[in-house]
Structure 1
Amino acid sequence: MNAAQSPDAIRNARESAAPGTRFALPLIVLHWLIALCIISMLGIGLYMVGLPKGLPFKATVINFHKSLGLTVFLLVLIRIMVRMAYGRPPLPPMQTWQRAAASTTQALLYVCMVGMPLTGYLGSSFNKYGTRFWGIDLPKWGWEDAQLRHLFFTAHEVIAWTMIVLIALHFAGAMKHQFIDRDGLLRRMLP
C-alpha cells in the first residue's frame, strides 16, 4: 500500500473535499490578502517610527502606511460581511480550552483589525497633517490637540503590539493543528 492509499491519506482527501469543511473561497482570499497587508503594515509601522523627524521620505512612508491601513480596514469590513453571509465550517474535535483559546484569539484579532485603523485615523485627525487616502484628503474628525493625538497614537501602538502577539498565537495554533494534531484544520483556509 503506498502513501496515497493509506487510511490517513484517504481520510484527509475526503475531509478536504467534503462540503462544509472549508471556508468559502472569498473568505480564503480575504484572509490571506488581509494577513499579508497587516504583516506589511506592522513592518512599515515599526520602520517608520525609527525614522528621524524632518526626513522628507518619512512623510511618504507615513502616508503610504495610512492609505494601506485604511484599505485594510475596508477589506476587514468586507470580510466581516462575507463571513456573516457564508459562515464558517465547524472546528474539528478539540478540547474545550483549545476551542475557547481559538475563539478568543480570533475575536481579539477582529477587535484589533478594526481598532488599529480607527485609532490611527483619530490620532491623525488631532494633528495638523490629517489623513490622505491614496492622495485624497479625508475629513478630520478633530482639531489640533497634542494630548488627544498622543492618546490615540498610544492606543494605536498598544493595539499593534497586541496584534503581533495574537498573530503569533494564531500562527502557533495553526502549526500545532497541522503538525502535531494533524486534524486538517489548516486545510480549511488554504486555496
Structure 2
Amino acid sequence: MNTAQSPGATREPDERTSADTQRFARPLVVLHWLIALCIIAMLGVGLYMVGLPKGLPFKSTVINFHKSLGMTVFLLVLIRIMVRMAYGRPPLPPMGAWQRAAASTTQALLYVGMVAMPLTGYLGSSFNKYGTKFWGLPLPQWGRDDPQLREAFFTAHGVIAWVLIALILLHFAGAMKHHFIDRDGLLRRMWT
C-alpha cells in the first residue's frame, strides 16, 4: 500500500507546527511585553507626578523621565506596527462574532491610544517654555509658550490616559477570560 500523499493533498499538521502557527512571532511577543511594562511604568509615574506640589526640586526630573518614557513607548509602538505588518498575526480561536468584534475594537483602540497619548503629551509640552527632552536630548518645539493650547493638549492627554487604563483592564480581563474560563489557548499566543 502506498502511503505517500499526492502533491496537492492536504495533510494534518503535527502538533508543533500547529502550535507555532497559532503564536505571534517572537519580535511581536517581545515588543508586546516591553511596551506593556513601559506603559504601566509611564502611567504610574504620570499619576504620581500630577500630585506633586510645584517647586519640588525633583519634580522636573520625574516629568522628564515620564516624557522620555512616553516618547520611547511611541517609538516602540511604531516599530511594533511595522513588525506586525511584516509578520501578520495568527488567527483567533473559534469564538462568537461579538467576541471577535470586541477583541478587534479593543485592540484598534489600544493602538490609537498608544499613539495619541505620547503625541498629545509631546504637543502639550511644545506649547510651554520647557519643551521635551528625550533622555536628555531636546526635541523640537512646535509652538510658542501658549497656555490655552498647552492646556487643551494636556487635557486630551489626561483623558486618553484614563481611556487607555480602561482599555488595558478590558484587554487583561479578556485574556484572563480566555485563559481561565474558555481555556482556548489564546494567552499562549503572546507568551514566550
What TM-score comes out, normalization by structure 1 length?
0.91
Q: What residue identity is the alignment partner of 2:85?
A: M
Give the number of the structure whose residues are more often helix, by fraction: 1
Change (3 A) 1:24 1:187: same
Size of the alignment, in residue pairs? 179
How many Å separate the matches in 2 of 1:110 and 1:66? 19
Q: Percent identity?
A: 80
SS in 2 for 1:22: coil
How many Å separate the matches in 2 of 1:34 and 1:25? 14
Q: What residue identity is the alignment partner of 1:67?
A: S
**How far is 1:18 from its partner?**
2.7
**Alignment partner, residue 84 of structure 1:** 85
**Which 5+ residue runs of structure 1 have no aligned equivalent?**
1-12
RMSD across aligned C-alpha pairs, in angstroms? 1.3
CA displacement, residues 73-127 of structure 1 (integer Å, 9 cap, x when unaligned):
0000000000000000000000000000000000000000000000000000000
Higher CA-based Rg:
2
Q: What residue identity is the alignment partner of 1:39?
A: I
Contact 1:16 1:187 in 2 (8 A): no
How many Å separate the matches in 1 of 2:163 and 2:107? 13
What TM-score comes out, normalization by structure 2 length?
0.91
Q: Tell me if 1:143 matches 2:144.
A: yes
**Alignment partner, residue 19 of structure 1:** 20
**Which 5+ residue runs of structure 2 have no aligned equivalent?**
1-13
The runs of at least 4 aligned residues of structure 1 exceeding 2 Å deviation read: 13-19
Q: Tell me if 1:121 matches 2:122.
A: yes
**Alignment partner, residue 161 of structure 1:** 162
SS in 1 for 2:141: coil
**Alignment partner, residue 185 of structure 1:** 186
